Amino acid sequence: MRWSYRIIRIAGTDVKVHITFPLLLGYLGLQAYHEGGTPAAAETLALVLGVFLCVLLHEFGHIFMARRFGVRTPDVILLPIGGVARLERMPSEPRQEFLIALAGPAVTLGIAAVLYGYLSAWGIHPTLLSAELDGSSLTTALMQVNVFLLLFNLIPAFPMDGGRVLRSLLAMRFGLLPATRIAARIGQCLAIVAAVYAFQHEGETMLVLIAVFVFFGAGAELAAVEMRARN
């Protein structure tokens, strides 16, 4: 059974959607409909689709920066926990990985800045980051989500963007394999902390999924680098 399906091809990269993504849309839309009817469902779906458009732009930040260093990206997959751009190979230098890893957050920062500037032009000055989304407008909520995604992605939990930045900085001093081992262990430790926190608090299912992704993703990346080192 196929788990992801191509929906479009952009600049030589296939954009794929994991089958769990439409399930997430259906679940959130139905939940919002029961709470506030059709208007609430439509607003929720618009926000979720807007967030994933921003996630896709974030991933293409990585993709276009990687292309500058001759690294192609065959596809990018949209998942309920975000997007994953699959590079055909690792960058040849730590500096290149550093720039590629930061390119995505730079795009997210740009989106948040543009949305904030748009709101400010209309005399609206929303809180940049809030525990609860400001329901005054879809634009405000989307801006706040992008600020959250920016800060969250920069957490040094390998293989997230912040973890890749950490790995690239360590690799400049210790080499790729030792740097990957250190970054992977840090990422897995943070994943365990996040999972423990999530299990102690109700309604943190998404955090559990992210913790699982980080823990096993870090292990898989470390195994791949170790295999290449042996060969």
Judge whether 163 and 187 are in contact, CB under 8 Å: yes
State which residues form the domain around 112.
1-149
117 and 204 assigned to the same domain: no
Total domains in the chain come to 2
- CB atoms under 10 Å from CB of 6, counted, come to 11
Which of 174, 94, 111 minimizes the C-alpha distance to 145?
A: 111
101 and 169 assigned to the same domain: no
Choice among 59, 93, 132, 221 that is catalytic: 59
If you average pLDDT over residues 99-125, what whole number do you get? 93
Per-residue confidence (pLDDT) for residue 130, from 0 to 100: 64
Q: What is d(CA 13, CA 59) in angstroms, rounded to the nearest whole number?
A: 11
pLDDT digits (tens, 9 = 90+) for 205-223: 778 888 998 999 999 989 9
Final residue before a domain boundary, out of 109, 124, 149:
149
65 and 142 assigned to the same domain: yes
Final residue before a domain boundary, out of 118, 149, 180:
149
If you average pLDDT over residues 100-129, what whole number do you get? 91
Per-residue confidence (pLDDT) for residue 70, from 0 to 100: 92
Does 131 score more than 70 pLDDT? no
Long-range contacts at 209-212 (CB < 8 A, ≥ 24 apart): 209/80, 209/81, 210/81
121 and 199 assigned to the same domain: no
pLDDT digits (tens, 9 = 90+) for 135-175: 558 889 899 999 999 999 999 998 899 999 999 999 999 99
Q: Does 43 participate in catalysis according to the annotation?
A: no
Q: Where are the beta strands (DSSP E) in 58-203?
A: 75-79, 82-86
Per-residue confidence (pLDDT) for residue 133, from 0 to 100: 54
144 and 56 assigned to the same domain: yes
192 and 144 assigned to the same domain: no
Final residue before a domain boundary, out of 149, 180, 211:
149
110 and 132 assigned to the same domain: yes
Rg of the Cα trace of the chain? Answer: 19
pLDDT digits (tens, 9 = 90+) for 53-107: 999 999 999 999 999 999 999 999 988 778 888 888 888 899 999 999 999 999 9
pLDDT digits (tens, 9 = 90+) for 175-190: 999 999 999 999 999 9
Does 14 score more than 90 pLDDT? yes
- Asked whether the whole model's pTM tops 0.85, one would answer yes
Does 203 score more than 80 pLDDT? no
Residue type for position 80: P
29 and 79 assigned to the same domain: yes
